[in-house]
Chain A
Amino acid sequence: MNSESSSLSSLEPAGRAQRREFLKRLAFVAGSSALLADLPWWSPLRAAPAGDSPADRVRVGLIGVGIRGNALLANLLKTPGVEVAALCDDYAPHLQAGLAKVKGAKGFADYRQMLDMPGLDGVLIATPLYLHARMCLDAFSAGKHVFCEKSLAYTIEECQAIADAHRGSRKVFQIGHQRMFSPAFLRAFELVRDGRIGPITQIRAYWHRNGDWRNPVPNPGPDPSPFPSLERRLNWRLYLAYSRGLMTELASHHMQVANWFLAAHPVSCAGYGSINYWKDGREVYDNVNVVYRYANGTHVIYDSLISNRFYGLEIQVMGPKGTIEAETGRIFAEDPPPAPGIVQLVNGIERGFFDAVPIGGPSWVPELKKDTKGSTLVRERTSDDGTAISMAAFVNAIRAGEPIPGMMEQACRSGVSVLMGHASMEQQQKIAWPEGFRE
């Protein structure tokens, strides 16, 4: 699957017709048994893309039409065989803007009314973190398939409740960790599995931005919602009642990748966080630093801050033979190949030989750039970070009526990991993986 997965990126899923072509190609790759053994969540993509007949059509509703909801919507509208039948948002301007984009969709302010709408196969939840659990549970109760944005839930108990409700339900559940469907991350995973960097000895991940992480808040006017204020509604990421800040909203992506690559969840973590720059009334940390420990002694070091963007975002997967930087899609060999003559020279010195070494000649230059600058994991980067493929996987899984294998495990592991990190920083002590947690 090596050559196949790296060819994925050369196809840009632009419009709906192009995306159908893309998904057709993808179906070949996804059908590989080697791929499915390691990435079971790719199995829905084995199916050829649906046609346009009404029988093939999957009807979904989107709860939360904010920034992330709009990104999902844009991708859904290009995905073959899906109808966005309903949109829900309790913030009227977002709902109206969403409805303007989708012909014929019904609008709802209350998601429970949307769940009662007849003929809806599944829902996508792109709402503030504290709402995820109740919406997932209500959607399962209503017999809907569920796509939920990351992070899984606001508390570990809620993560457990979602996993419990889903277990045995035969409903599709998918979490919004798009790196699970990113060709660059897939390629990185293959290289690790194939031993190109040796066993993973450390993962270091960071997400750095420079900005206040705020959304503009318009002049409120009359606000009938149960929220205390428009500021808290639109900037929910900054308040502890709705979010756990950088850990749940950013770190969860890299913790998902780390848990995936290490095929494990952390056994414990310890960290520090503070508000040391954006002292503007926010409640969540503006810088976080957490070290996760895994059962085999591997550590994942995570840090994030929003007062410096020099290093940007990256996840560095390290082993004795090399380093993979998965976000920028590069692999670096630990040791560039030594000059053959130099090896001979050193061997001679160590063994007490005095021999001429045939070494001089026109200059050696690297045969490939990778020898000095790292080599790229996929031939071209597409604009899709995996979200487009995620949407296709969700829709295909609904059409097939098959839950996506391995998905809830990934969702729980990253969801719990970031909540452990948050708890460790809040309580200033080591936090263990919750005993008895069932993924």
Chain B
Amino acid sequence: MNTRFSVVLAGIDAEKAEALAAAVERELRAQERTMSRFDVEGPLAELNRRAAKEAVEPPEELWEILLLCRDYWERTGGAFDITLWPLNRLWREHLEQGEEPAEETIAEAKQQTGMERVHFNEAAHTVRFENPEMSVDLGGFGKGFALERVAGNLRAQGVEQAFLSFGESSIAVLGSHPHGPAWPVGIADMFHPTRTVHTFHLKNASLSSSGTAPFNRMEGRRAQGQIIGQIIDPGSGRPIEGYRTMSVASPSAMEAEVLSTALLVTPERERAALLSGFSRISAVEIVYQPHEGDFIPRIQWQYEL
């Protein structure tokens, strides 16, 4: 999934911890094979290659994942959508050239996206795309899904205290910090990473952050006026503007992952309604505003239920 995975296991002996860590790695590699669109031999790449031409029966695990994604798409009113790849590609290609795509090109790409254009045959367990350019991308779902599996497996193995982090954007904890009532997790100021903007206290919970960053992380340098980690609003077909992050805590790693993106593309006034279908969610949106050559973080929106 092109990131690092860290696992901290507390209160168990080193030998058992190493065996558990190895099992976690095996699980994650299997998950990656299922969900990667870049593994040409993997089931998702095969689905993307074939599903516009014929009904494809994905392996059971991928089928379940696609059903979950459809469910979340419905529950977020379309804000969470795994079919936005054509829009993502369009914007990336244009922004790299320093230009915006034309309105009609955006409209055209929008016709190639949308979960409503993915047809599920529940009886046959097959999937078919309505449009030849369509493509499923599990980048905004896979980490949460995998984390939920891993956390569940560790719990089943009797682990009571653990801290799991997927590239720092998706975190799950078991139990509480060995020296306190919860695991305190700070959201770092992305311009001054040692500073904390907001702290979540997690106990048997997960935290996911999505957002746009001013850095070209693939190249390790600041991009020229370019926003990396672009997030497309499926409604407008345009990337969200500015430097902003949405961090969501939930008992479910999957839900935290889904909601961090969905809330970011949902207008503030509609967010509470969206969240009424979920429980025990807390969320914080941080917006970075330019100020005297620097960027200052501000909590733009906050939700606790």
A residues apposed to B, CB below 8 Å: 336, 338-342, 345-346, 348-349, 352-368, 371-372
Contacts and interface: CB of A to CB of B under 8 A. Distances in A.
30 contacts: A340-B193, A342-B6, A342-B165, A348-B179, A353-B179, A354-B179, A356-B186, A356-B199, A357-B186, A358-B188, A358-B189, A358-B195, A359-B165, A360-B168, A360-B185, A360-B186, A360-B207, A361-B168, A361-B211, A362-B212, A362-B245, A363-B3, A363-B143, A364-B169, A364-B217, A366-B3, A366-B218, A367-B217, A367-B218, A367-B219
B185 A359 contact: yes
B190 interface: yes
A358 B193 contact: yes
Interface string B198-216: 0110000001011111000
B274 interface: no
A45 B130 CA distance: 63
Given A359-B188, A360-B207, A352 B179 contact: yes
A358 B194 contact: yes
Given A352-B179, A357-B185, A359-B168, 17 more contacts: A341-B168, A342-B163, A348-B179, A349-B177, A354-B179, A356-B199, A358-B187, A358-B189, A360-B185, A362-B169, A362-B245, A363-B143, A363-B166, A363-B167, A364-B4, A366-B3, A366-B218
Would you list the 8 A-B pairs with minimal beta carbon distance, nearest first? A363-B169, A367-B220, A356-B184, A354-B180, A358-B186, A358-B188, A363-B167, A354-B179
Contact of A363 (B170, B199, B207): B170
Interface of B: 2-4, 6, 8, 10, 143, 163, 165-171, 177-180, 184-190, 193-196, 199-200, 207, 209-213, 217-220, 229, 245, 247
A354 B2 contact: no
Contacts of A372: 2
Contacts of A349: 8, 10, 177-179
Contacts of B217: 364-365, 367
Nearest to B201: A356
Given A346-B8, A356-B199, A339 B165 contact: yes
A345 B8 contact: yes
Given A358-B196, A363-B229, A336 B10 contact: no
Contacts of B180: 354
A355 B178 CA distance: 11
Contact of A360 (B10, B209, B218): B209
A362 B213 contact: yes
Contacts of B194: 358
Contact of A362 (B171, B195, B229): B229
B271 to A, nearest CB: 19
A407 B277 CA distance: 77
